[in-house]
Amino acid sequence: MSNYKMQLGDYSKLDKNIKIVFVTAEFNRDFTKALEDVNEKLLKDNGFNNVEKFLVPGAYEIPAFVKLVKQKLNPDLVICFGVVIRGETTHYEMVAGESARGIMNISIEDNTSTAYINGILTCENEEQVKARISSTYALSGLNLLSERKKIS
């Protein structure tokens, strides 16, 4: 695993009332709850309190729900959380690949100001999951929104 640690950029031009949505997979809930908690803490510690959370069955269901969230709520930032751990079948490859592709497709097709962050962990085992639970996703979202502000 990389030793790179993302830093929070300059978000001074971001409205603290931006609408942030978490779409989280219920599968592997202990881990996905930890992802939510650490990222929500970073956001709230930095004054971003407008966070709405939705729970879907698994990572595979995230992209379709994200599209619905965009249509109905028009958030500024959507962060997706899930944990896919390799098992004995090819199910892992399908869920990991299609959930990532779905989020990427929505992000590319949506030419609005909404930023999308893929926080779906795809790991070999629980130890790898535990090592990757961090606030990187909230950091990425705020940094991406800050960069987008420069060109809007």
Locate the DSSP E strands across 70-114: 77-85
Q: How far apart are CA 25 and CA 41, in angstroms?
A: 19
Tell me the catalytic residues.
Answer: 91
Q: How far apart are CA 10 and CA 98, in angstroms?
A: 33
Strand arrangement of the beta sheet that strand 51-56 belongs to: 51-56, 20-25, 77-85, 115-123
